[in-house]
Amino acid sequence: MEELIRILEEIQPDADYENCTTLIDDEILSSLDVMSIVAELEDEYDIRILPVEIVPANFNSAEAMWQMVQRLREG
């Protein structure tokens, strides 16, 4: 999780990843940020993120992203 937050801060430093649960809903992360995050997650965790996963629920918080990563690693 710490590694994930480091990645997120590298891409968009102006967000509170520890507490925020509306990163997409409040437009803190743009679609460009989301794509940069997806690219990093794919490379860092050796996973494949398909379009079906690109929904606000999976990117609204660092925790949600972490859950998605875990699920895709297991799957």
Partner 1 sequence: MSFTSLGFFILAAACTCVYYLLKSSHRWICLLLFSALYYAAAGPVFLLFVLFAAFTTWVGGRYAVGQKKAAVAIPLLLDFGVLAYLKYSAFAVSLLNLLPGVSLGLPQTLLPLGISFYTFQSAGYLLDVYWKRCEPEENFFRYLLFVGFFPQLMQGPIGRCSTLMPQLQEGHAFDILQIRRGLWRICWGLFKKLLIADNAALYVNTIFDEYQSIQSLGLQGVLMYSVQLYMDFSGGIDIALGVAELVGIHLDENFRQPYFAQSLTEFWHRWHITLGTWMKDYLFYPVSLSGWMGSFRKMCRKRFGKETGRAMAVGVANLIVFLAVGIWHGPAWHFIAYGLYNGVIISVSGLLTGTFRKWKRALGIKDSMRWFQGFRMLRTFAIVNVSWFLDRSGSVPQALQMLTSSFRGSIFSLTVIRSDDLQYCLLHFLPVLIGCVIVLIVSIFKERKKNVLAWAAGLPGWVLPAVFAAVLIAAALLGNKESGGFIYANF
> Which residues are at the interface with partner 1 (CB under 8 A)?
10, 13-14, 27, 30-32, 35-36, 38-40, 42-43, 49-52, 54-55
Beta carbon of residue 30, minimum distance to partner 1 (angstroms, whole number):
6
Beta carbon of residue 16, minimum distance to partner 1 (angstroms, whole number):
15
Residue 58 burial by CB count (10 A; 0-12/13-18/19+): exposed, middle or buried? buried
Beta carbon of residue 21, minimum distance to partner 1 (angstroms, whole number):
20
Helical residues (DSSP H) of 1-75, grouped into ranges: 2-11, 31-45, 56-59, 62-74
